[in-house]
Structure 1
Amino acid sequence: MLFIEVVVPKGRFDVPQRQALAGRLTGRRLLSAAGHDDSAAADPGVIDLLDSLTDVVVREEEIWIAGGRPAEAARDTRYVVNVTAGMWGKELSEHLVSRITAELAEAEPGREPCVMVNVIIVPEGGYGLRGRVHRSPDMLRLIEQAKTGPQEPAPDGTVVDPVCGATVPVGDAVMLERDGRTYGFCCPHCRGHFARSLEAAP
């Protein structure tokens, strides 16, 4: 669901440092509310699924011109991060940019890194998984199957998305009213899937 490519100047980081950078950008860290493993932003099974569908690569570029001059590994901490996002790319763009920037800034305390994050949104029908095209309903079915536990009550000022289990502030939630009940969702995809499932119910 996420392919994250981090490009750094050649020689700036050794192999263990590049591995540590990749470890900071896992799906679990980026998609949880606070970006840390102990966050309960969504059902643990859903976070496990999304983490399993995230790949991170860190590579070095030998030639890098920045601001009209060669970037020097010892002086410049520059990152270009290309994130290929699945069906929620549009909804997640701002979150991904801020989380990735924060994670890379925390990787080098005391330095102010220059981070450029490009979120590339994959159009509907443009995502393949397990040998076939997966569309929004297919991904939402995988998410529903990944849920591990009963839905917990939402903390004050939040709603729990009944599709993916994400906890969302009421002001940010996408709402749906049906049969006198109000539901809150993390994004239009989850709301649409839920609405279709209500219509299909006997």
Structure 2
Amino acid sequence: MPEDPLFTRWRRLFPVVDPATVKRCFDGLRRAYTEPHRHYHTLDHIQACLRHLDEVPGELEDPRAVELALWYHDIVYQIGNADSEADSARRAVVELRQLGETPDMTAKVRALILHTRHPSQPDCHDAALLVDIDLAILGAAPALYDQYEAWIRQEYKDIPWPQYCAGRRRVLQGFLSDVFIYQTDKFRNERESTARANIERALACLTEPEGSNRGK
């Protein structure tokens, strides 16, 4: 039976580490990203992030650190947790130590993960690209963006619609209030205008009753 391509990619990050440890950590990642309350923050999101990473191979100072941060940046995702990013960073540090990573690498990955809090002020180009990759969905084609909004609502399905609308509006307006949504020229050129149009459309939908024909 062919090996899971996602596991193959993960395994190649740790060529000299005990295979059982590599597999155990991957299985933990898989369990986390397939938790039943997740609809967007899943392995599909991680795979999409990795595809975007592969499009910028020469633009990163430490591509391995960025890749490890992408793998772990949403490993903890609980509705109502005010700082899932910090919890994700802590788990990343623990597991990367088990995988033999140096203190310098674990510190880099921790700092990168913390930049995925939004809003964020990246302090280096690697962090800026990481944040843009995480937010790439905002500038996706309208149909995919609308599906993303539906997935986010599913993750927050236990929140009453008026309360959800108020919170979601704050998040989306926060993106629009910045001079740029994206931090790097690549993402600004490719996705900025589409992201702003998507968000404006989503905000208009958040004024409608739940269950109306959104995304039209």
Give the shorter-chain TM-score range: 0.3 to 0.5
TM, length-normalised to structure 2:
0.37
Greater helix fraction, Structure 1 or Structure 2: 2
TM, length-normalised to structure 1:
0.38
